[in-house]
């Protein structure tokens, strides 16, 4: 008879306006770590509205949330509210102080920055917002996954799956990480070669920035500068 694996507590921060794949992509991978227990934490245990038209019910509030072995902050347009919310930022500080891994996906890194957890670190974020990292004393490193000590940050949205597989390999070995990748059939062959600014049509990039990201980028920069 083998001993049960030691509990490995994974805490995801949830907030209104979250990009659901920033959370659900890594969760699908990380939940397969032996002993994994996934907690979804929000200020209150009430439905959290995602960017995809459906809501997620958190499993715990901040006060009752167990200490994370791995803390993960997803991103989304709701990040601008998170970085102004001192209660949420203090929760991140408290959890990060004893976590083995402090992580983010997409603009979740900006929340870590607002909590003072990026100072002097190498980090990344969604490509549209990487220029904001320096405002938190971080150095942007151009990669889908950036590891600096126990801090692991991932780029935009789908990069969260890469980050999660990286963590699995670190925690439980490469063989398990590879088996999870195979079981999920994570073998991307996108139909278009437009998934990063380096390869996208410049006209498309400019259009997307103008229609989607410009105002949010300005809003975030203004909020950060006022802090």
Which H/E stretch holds residue 10? Answer: strand 8-13
Distance, CA of 151 to CA of 86 (rounded, Å): 21
Which pLDDT tens digit goes with each residue over 17-45?
999 999 999 999 999 999 999 999 999 99
- Given a contact cutoff of 8 angstroms between Cβ atoms, the answer to whether 140 and 133 are in contact is yes
Q: What is the largest CA-CA distance in the chain?
A: 61
What would the pLDDT profile of 52-67 be if each residue is shown by its tens digit? 999 999 999 999 999 9
Q: Does the pLDDT at position 1 exceed 80? A: no
- Interval 106-123: pLDDT, tens: 999 999 999 999 999 999
pLDDT of residue 227: 82
What local confidence, expressed as pLDDT, does residue 12 receive? 98
CB-based burial, 188-226: b 16+ in 10 Å, e otherwise: eeeeeeeeeeeebeeeebeeeeeeebeeeeeebeebbee
Contact 49, 76 (CB under 8 A): no
pLDDT value of position 121: 98
For residues 3-13, give the mean pLDDT.
93
pLDDT of residue 194: 95
Catalytic annotation, residues: 106
Confidence (pLDDT) at 3: 76
pTM comes to 0.95
Question: Does position 2 have pLDDT exceeding 70, yes or no?
Answer: no
* 101 contacts: CB under 8 Å, gap ≥ 6: 69, 70, 71, 150, 152, 167
**Structural contact between residues 123 and 155, judged by C-beta atoms closer than 8 angstroms:** no
């Amino acid at each position: 008879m083998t001993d049960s694996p030691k509990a490995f507590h994974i805490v995801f921060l949830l907030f209104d306006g979250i990009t659901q794949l920033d959370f659900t992509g890594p969760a699908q991978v990380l939940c397969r770590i032996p002993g994994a227990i996934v907690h979804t934490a929000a200020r209150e245990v009430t439905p959290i509205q995602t960017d995809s038209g459906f809501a997620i019910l958190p499993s715990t509030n901040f006060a009752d949330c167990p200490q994370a072995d791995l803390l993960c902050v997803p991103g989304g347009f709701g990040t601008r509210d998170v970085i102004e919310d001192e209660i949420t930022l203090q929760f991140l500080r408290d959890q990060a102080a004893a976590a083995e891994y402090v992580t983010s996906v997409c603009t979740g890194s900006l929340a870590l920055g607002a909590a003072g957890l990026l100072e002097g670190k190498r980090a990344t974020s969604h490509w549209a917002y990487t220029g904001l990292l320096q405002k938190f004393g971080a150095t942007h490193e151009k990669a889908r996954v950036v590891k600096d000590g126990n801090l692991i940050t991932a780029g935009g949205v789908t990069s969260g799956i890469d980050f999660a597989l990286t963590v699995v390999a670190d925690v439980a070995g490469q063989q398990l990480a590879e088996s999870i990748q195979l079981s999920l059939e994570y073998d991307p062959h996108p139909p278009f070669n437009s998934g990063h600014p380096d390869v996208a049509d410049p006209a498309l990039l400019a259009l997307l920035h103008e229609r989607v990201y410009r105002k949010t980028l300005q809003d975030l920069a203004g909020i950060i500068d006022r802090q």
